[in-house]
Amino acid sequence: MGLTKSSTGTGLLENDFKNFKNDNGYTIALAGNPNVGKSTIFNSLTGMHQHTGNWPGKTVSNAIGKCIYKNQDFLFVDIPGTYSIMSNSEEEEIARDYICFGNPDATVVVVDATCLERNLNLVFQIMEITDNVILCVNLLDEAKKKKIKVDLKLLSERLGIPVVGTIARKKSTLNNLMDTITKVCTKKITPSPIKIKYSPLIEESIEELESELKNSFNLSNNLCRWISLKILDGETKILNTIEKNLAINLHDNSKINNLTKKLQENLKSNNITSETFKDNIVSSIMKKAEDICKDVCIFENTSYSKRDRKIDKILTSKKFGFPIMLLFLGIIFWITIVGANYPSQFLFAIFSWLQGKLVIFAEIVHCPAWLSDMLISGIYQTLTWVVSVMLPPMAIFFPLFTFLEDLGYLPRIAFNMDGFFKKCCCTR
């Protein structure tokens, strides 16, 4: 493949993106929904197994890794998996801010070939911010099992960006991806992503604001259009971030403020309020994604998801959903608590035996009583008690919970609990 691997994990110390730039080559952002194989591609390209730090001021972890392809350095930044970049969570904020303000040379958006329509939502949102987008259609092997075919060439034509099909676990399939990344970075391929056309009234409002932003600030066409959307949406948090990172002043610009007020009042008079504006935007994106998928996806077995739908009806039903959820969680906790007793006792016995040997050794070497008490009865005994008590339940609970996630049951639990979380103000 011509790839030479090296890896780096980092925790940022400064609230900027300079640690995510490759001064000697190209910087590539890897974006995508959760569970689409993005991190697998990242690891395959960089040879790194998730050495992570934290993004500046965030609890969300980051990972960066380098690879050399055809004597060219590439720095890959693994952006947190997210379904959207409309800033409702830390993950969405990080993904949006890095793509918009981190200035990667190219952004690779990884999507799941088995549910392309849902994944295209993020693709369209990213294409609003930057032109240098590459679509990586992953999990083609899973799509083949479900008898789903994706016309990659037609998809590329419809989106206006390069599209590459991959199977993340097979390194040979990443050749085309690296070739395409190289061509985009060296300007041999120039993506021309399509822009979503919203309702005529919203489009007119965007054009007016866009024109005023171009007159007031030295910004690219993409940024002007995207910022116009955020101004009309009234997303204060995003606008503050834009001002900080682009060093522009939107709040004190009287022309923009007056125009925004006028446009928002016009939208409101046509039943597009601040509450329904985002719904209009999202529905337009999803409608476009649906139209494209109808053209590029061929389902040889139209009932491939019939079994999953039957399972969903049971696991997410009002009658059976909660009892099944409580049963599963109860079984997991029972296995964890009861099952942990045996390894805990085993570890405790081993550590106690070792402690006795350490006491004998301390007496042989004439170690002072105060030192042996501190090291053996204090540090060693406390540490081994913690390991004996905590390690077994963790070693049992986390694999079981991961197993539930792999089965696809955790999203169904989230669906069941969504209403309760909203009532408790645990979601935004």
Instruction: Encode pLDDT of 68-125 as tens digits.
Output: 888 899 999 988 888 888 866 777 888 888 888 888 999 999 999 988 998 999 999 9
The domains of the chain are located at 3-185, 200-271, 321-423
Specify the DSSP class assigned to residue 380.
I
Measured between alpha carbons, how far is 174 from 73 in angstroms, rounded to an integer? 16
Measured between alpha carbons, how far is 46 from 4 in angstroms, rounded to an integer? 8
The model's confidence at residue 200, banded by pLDDT at 50, 70 and 90, is very high
Instruction: Encode pLDDT of 6-27 as tens digits.
Output: 444 333 333 455 556 666 789 9
Q: Please report, as a single letter, which amino acid is at residue 390.
A: M
User: What is the pTM for the complete model shown?
Assistant: 0.73
Q: What percent of the chain has pLDDT over 90?
A: 46
What pLDDT shows up at residue 6? 43
| Phi, psi (degrees; rounded to nearest 5) at 369 | -60, -40
Closest CA to 245 of 216, 206, 219, 276: 219
Contacts from 320-324 at CB under 8 Å and sequence distance 24+?
Answer: 321/412, 321/416, 322/416
In CATH terms, the fold of domain 3-185 is Rossmann fold (3.40.50)
Longest dimension (CA), the chain: 90
Q: Which helix (H) or strand (E) holds 108?
A: strand 106-112
List CB contacts of 158: < 8 A, sequence separation 6 or more: 194, 292, 295, 296
What pLDDT shows up at residue 10? 36
**In whole angstroms, what separates CA 198 from the centre of its chain?**
26
Instruction: Encode pLDDT of 241-295 as tens digits.
Output: 888 888 898 888 899 999 999 999 999 999 988 778 988 999 999 999 999 999 9
> Exposed e or buried b for every residue in 23-51, given b needs 16+ CB within 10 A?
eebbbbbbbbbeebbbbbbbbbbbebeee
Q: Please provide the average confidence, as pLDDT, over all residues in the chain.
A: 85
> Exposed e or buried b for every residue in 69-86, given b needs 16+ CB within 10 A?
beebbbbbbbbbbbbbbb
Cβ–Cβ under 8 Å, residues 153 and 165: no
Measured between alpha carbons, how far is 34 from 92 in angstroms, rounded to an integer? 12
The model's confidence at residue 237, banded by pLDDT at 50, 70 and 90, is confident
